[in-house]
Structure 1
Amino acid sequence: MEIRVLQAEDAAAYRAIRIRAAETAPEAIHFEPEEIASLADEEIARQIQPSDIQRVLGAFAAGQLIGVAALRRDGRVKIRHRAMVQGVFTRPDHRGKGVARCLMQALLDEAAELPGLLSLELAVHAANAPAKALYQSFGFRRVGALPGAVMLDGRLLDEELMQRPLAFSSSASSVVPEGDDYVLVEATPDVAVYRRLRAESGLSPKTEEAARRGLAGTVFAVQALQNGNVVGMGRLIGDGGSFYQVVDIAVLPAHQGRGLGKRVMAAIRGYIDRELPLSAYVSLIADGEAKHLYAQFGFEPTARRSEGMALFKR
């Protein structure tokens, strides 16, 4: 696979893959296939001509364009420090081979070369969990939502807005040993993964119904992945305003001792700092020596001024 910046002479191939994207991912592409097909050749060439305000990258296999990703910014002085990531698409017959990940990395490398660029932004279909996980793994964080952003076949679809400083230093990635192959993504685990991680890491088991109901109320969650497999997790639950609790800090035994718990907690603490209102009360239950980990992130014992109490329904 070769990844390079597209030039005006790639216009025909770019038009074809954009039409394919509009046909196979209509919820993510704001154009109808017919609208793309009707554009003049000069307009398509203008959309991909590299300049200080745009770069369009293409992934090629055997000379065929199999994936694209674009970086565009407004030329106005007050907002030219921001750029939008747009049109990330891989042909269906080439998915699962890391094409989108390679395109995103190349796009970040190109962004670093654009003068004066400080921030990257994107909008993603709210129900597209794989895309959101990809962007999160590159440091993008959810900053808002656009309810009803797209009208598709009479249905209003939401989009989520994500942002990433170009000079990025993530608290969730602050402790990464050399050669580390773990990736943290901000996403709630599904019921099966959640129950497995709790059971295999030594936490109390949860019924399928309890897990399903509980996960639906997640405020924030992070998962640790190795080669696409979830090996750790942590969640923040709460009422959305005044009271929250850190729960489900779990790492599979084979992956313990590698700093994953610390990275999970760093991601949760980062969310607390960014999103929770002043006066919010965040609690947790520290089992055994885990109290030393939590203390690193500002958590203090409540005893003797208060005593924790609980009821476990059996």
Structure 2
Amino acid sequence: MAVTDANGGLSIRLLCAADADAYQAIRVAAATHDSASIHADAAEIAALGRDAIQRQIESGDAQRALGAFIEGELVGVAALRRDTRAKIRHRATVQGVFTRPECRSRGVARSLMQAVLDEAAKLPGLLSLELAVHAENGPAKALYQAFGFRRVGLIPGAVMLDGRCLDEVLMQRPLAFSSPAAVPGPIPNCDGYALIEAAPDVDTYRRLRAESGLSPKTEEAARRGLAGTLFSVLLRHGGETVGMGRLIGDGGGFYQVVDIAVLPAHQGRGLGKRIMAAIRGHIDRELPVSAYVSLIADGDARHLYAQFGFEPTAPRSEGMALFKR
């Protein structure tokens, strides 16, 4: 397979034996730059022989290794690996998703993930995709969530790095979809609305903000902001996304609820409450004790947020903001 983006000069294809040296080099870079996310360290990867590297990228029924190229240079990788034992061959693991730091914010990782899903759809009998991600890697978790992966567990102390035990989040996605627009896990309701755990794309995000009366965001601001999503839900009706809500933050001490939006034609039906209930559920399950979660309440929206435990900070503190124009 080969996919080319004519606008950005980005191409995605399966790796082959001739790519072994470039693949090894980018894996060393991954272990150096994102050491918490790579189980092998840089020295271990560098010590592997060429034959071992070639076996890691050889395409077959049990694996696919994909590369993202810009002007002929390998700038990103991702792999799909499958256990061939009869009882678990319906499952595969997404591994080693990495983009060179200087090439980030250009859609490389998103293109790689779509290519992984496309390749997975070609493997007979494959029903489930799984992955593990460093618990503090907010952008990576947001990326996977946008492609329909949902958290299914946590491994405390999964990785030992510099004397510290780091947690990993386990995520899973049923392989019944070939596009991030058709994500799994809807929670249907009798009135035809469904809430799903997923982040909006840039166009949907900007549309929902503008049409629901929130301040508009530029395309660049939307792209950068969505990359930092920690948790997000979308409200769907009749195949259309009509509402959303997000949680952003540093992944540890401070968070903010943002982008609670429902299109005017769908307001007045308690849909904002459903969105907030999903976000509050995530806060209760995932955020550490002592986390500070804030939001800005416009007008009567304060009554909605109060139902979920949010209280005015005044008089002990007063909210302040700066809007760059």
TM-score of the two chains, using structure 2 as the length reference? 0.60
2:173 to 156, 161, 164: 164
Deviations 1:172-224 (A, max 9, x none): 5989xxxxxxx9339xxxxxxxxxxxxx86xxxxxxxxxxxxxxxxxx95356
1:251 aligns with 2:265: no
Q: Which residue of 2 aligns with 1:131?
A: 140
- The Cα of 1:15 is off from its aligned counterpart by 0.3
Which residues of structure 2 form unaligned runs of 5+? 1-9, 178-182, 190-196, 201-212, 215-229, 236-242, 248-256, 286-299, 301-306, 315-325
User: Aligned with 1:97: secondary structure?
Assistant: coil
1:15 aligns with 2:27: no
- The Cα of 1:146 is off from its aligned counterpart by 0.4
The verdict on how the C-alpha distance between 1:83 and 1:258 changes in structure 2, with shifts beyond 3 A counting, is farther
1:233 to 245, 249, 258: 245
CA distance in 2: counterparts of 1:5 and 1:267, whole angstroms:
41
The verdict on how the C-alpha distance between 1:96 and 1:59 changes in structure 2, with shifts beyond 3 A counting, is same
The verdict on how the C-alpha distance between 1:116 and 1:26 changes in structure 2, with shifts beyond 3 A counting, is same
The residue correspondences of 1:152-301 to structure 2 (distance < 5 A) are 152-168=161-177, 170-172=184-186, 184-185=198-199, 222-223=232-233, 232-233=244-245, 250-251=260-261, 256-257=264-265, 265=274
Q: Which residue identity does 2:79 align to in structure 1?
A: A
Contact conserved, 1:145 with 1:160, CA < 8 A, in 2? yes
CA distance in 1: counterparts of 2:272 and 2:311, whole angstroms:
29
CA distance in 1: counterparts of 2:276 and 2:60, whole angstroms:
36
Deviations 1:92-123 (A, max 9, x none): 01000010000000100000001110000000
- The Cα of 1:270 is off from its aligned counterpart by 12
The verdict on how the C-alpha distance between 1:59 and 1:249 changes in structure 2, with shifts beyond 3 A counting, is closer
CA distance in 2: counterparts of 1:174 and 1:97, whole angstroms:
35
Contact conserved, 2:79 with 2:94, CA < 8 A, in 1? yes
User: Aligned with 1:113: secondary structure?
Assistant: coil
Deviation beyond 4 Å, 4+ runs, structure 1: 171-175, 255-259, 261-264, 266-272, 310-314
User: Aligned with 1:185: secondary structure?
Assistant: coil
Contact conserved, 2:130 with 2:171, CA < 8 A, in 1? yes
Which residues of structure 1 form unaligned runs of 5+? 176-182, 187-199, 202-219, 226-230, 236-246, 277-287, 289-307
Q: Which residue of 1 aligns with 2:150?
A: 141
CA distance in 2: counterparts of 1:56 and 1:311, whole angstroms:
46
The verdict on how the C-alpha distance between 1:172 and 1:72 changes in structure 2, with shifts beyond 3 A counting, is same
1:59 aligns with 2:68: yes
2:80 to 66, 71, 90: 71
Query: Which has the larger Rg?
Result: 1
CA distance in 1: counterparts of 2:33 and 2:105, whole angstroms:
16
The verdict on how the C-alpha distance between 1:145 and 1:171 changes in structure 2, with shifts beyond 3 A counting, is closer
Contact conserved, 2:245 with 2:259, CA < 8 A, in 1? yes
1:105 to 98, 114, 123: 114
Contact conserved, 1:222 with 1:268, CA < 8 A, in 2? no
The verdict on how the C-alpha distance between 1:262 and 1:14 changes in structure 2, with shifts beyond 3 A counting, is farther
Q: Which residue of 2 aligns with 1:48?
A: 57
CA distance in 1: counterparts of 2:72 and 2:114, whole angstroms:
21
The residue correspondences of 1:298-309 to structure 2 (distance < 5 A) are none
The verdict on how the C-alpha distance between 1:30 and 1:234 changes in structure 2, with shifts beyond 3 A counting, is closer
RMSD: 4.0
TM-score of the two chains, using structure 1 as the length reference? 0.62
Identity %: 54
Contact conserved, 1:7 with 1:49, CA < 8 A, in 2? yes
Contact conserved, 1:234 with 1:264, CA < 8 A, in 2? no
CA distance in 2: counterparts of 1:114 and 1:133, whole angstroms:
26
Question: What is the aligned residue count?
Answer: 226
User: Aligned with 1:115: secondary structure?
Assistant: coil
